[in-house]
Amino acid sequence: MSYELKNDRYLRALAKQPVDRTPIWMMRQAGRYLPEYRQVRGQAGDFMSLCRNAELACEVTLQPLRRYPLDAAILFSDILTIPDAMGLGLYFEQGEGPRFERPIRDAKAVEKLGIPDPEDELGYVMRAVSTIRRELKGEVPLIGFSGSPWTLATYMVEGGSTKNFSVVKSMLYREPKVMHQLLDKLAQSVTSYLNAQIANGAQSVMIFDTWGGVLSPRDYQEFSLRYMAQIVDGLTRENEGRKVPVTLFTKNGGQWLELMAATGCDALGVDWTTNIGDARRRVGDQVALQGNMDPSVLYASPERIREEVQTILESFGSGTGHVFNLGHGIHPEVDPAHAEAFIQAVTELSSAFHK
């Protein structure tokens, strides 16, 4: 990993150091909205085969960087790699999303779960990380990631995607001890998984708490935030002579930003339901902020997209500590030309906020 980092704008913004313009990357930037991604996915056969092939995972990670002047690459993988490595039998139903053959429904099933060895059961992810890092040749930093313990638990207990979270919430209320055992195992697993990604070349890591926002405030602190804080405490925070920043993102978690900032993370992802200027006033200089344009704005005209970018930049205001992103992943139906207009708007308009 001897390449000097040519563009460290993203890492500097996370450290709240001065930058010439606001850095930008997009959640799900390597994905279904790109025709070249769909071609490689077809070549791989299915989604998990694509994740397990280091060369193909590297190829799709680099695709958006060839099209757009992005300031970071994010590992192409899935949040369900850990439950899969725990032996739950992950598969994907056409149009239904992820499913598990053996969902976790009782204390006995939780007890049986082992902590996966990231270099063994999840070795394919580490091979992808080191391959991508090598092929990036220091152009931009590489972001590693994981799902949060609570988010992973929702899929593991429900057996797949859910709209009302009835199975996982009934376990939480009826058998909180069992839920805590499960979450603790997942926190240990996520910590070792992310540390292995860092050891293999990830220069920043992000924890996606997709479903934290479905919890009540008290339950969020007890069953989601507590375990993310545990992970933050256990992460390698410096590697290759440089700080490794950690970003926490709870979708629909705007009401808990102060609590999230208190975990000791470096940055918070903010979705579009929170005004980024308000978020900045609330957390002050404690953490950097990432976000937060509504992905649906990308269906609009390039002029309207540019307007929205300007509004968000003005809301955040001058100075560093902002990484521009969508408030969630880019939608598969978005025209790549609209993604380009978005990225171009950020790169052109944001320098005025960094004088």
List 32, 237, 242, 282, catalytic entry: 32
DSSP 55-102: HHHHHHHHHHHHHS--S-EE----TTHHHHHTT--EEEETTTEEEESS
264 labelled binding-site residue: no
**8: DSSP letter:** -
Active site residue 127: no
300 labelled binding-site residue: no
DSSP 151-200: HHHHHHHHTB--SS-HHHHHHHHH-HHHHHHHHHHHHHHHHHHHHHHHHT
| Rounded-to-integer distance, Cα 88 and Cα 68, Å | 37
Contact 71, 142 (CB under 8 A): no
Active site residue 28: yes
Active site residue 218: no
List 33, 68, 155, 227, catalytic entry: 155
DSSP 242-302: EE--EEEEETT-GGGHHHHHTTT-SEEE--TTS-HHHHHHHHTTSSEEEEEE-GGGGGS-H
Count how many Cα atoms sit within 13 Å of the Cα of residue 71 in the half-sphere of its side chain: 25
Residues 6 or more apart whose CB falls under 8 angstroms from that of 299 comprise: 331, 333, 334, 338
| Rounded-to-integer distance, Cα 15 and Cα 350, Å | 18
List 9, 12, 21, 28, catalytic entry: 28
List 10, 21, 71, 78, catalytic entry: 78
32 labelled binding-site residue: yes
328 labelled binding-site residue: yes
| Rounded-to-integer distance, Cα 311 and Cα 54, Å | 39
Q: Integer distance in angstroms from the first to the last C-alpha of the chain? A: 33
29 labelled binding-site residue: yes
Both tokens of 307, joined, read: 């307007």
Q: Burial, 211: exposed, middle or buried (Cβ in 10 Å; 0-12, 13-18, 19+)?
A: buried
Contact 343, 24 (CB under 8 A): yes
210 labelled binding-site residue: yes
Contact 157, 83 (CB under 8 A): no
78 labelled binding-site residue: yes
Sequence ranges of the binding site: 28-32, 78, 155, 210, 328
Q: Which are the catalytic amino acids?
A: 28, 32, 41, 78, 155
Sequence ranges of the binding site for substrate: 28-32, 78, 155, 210, 328
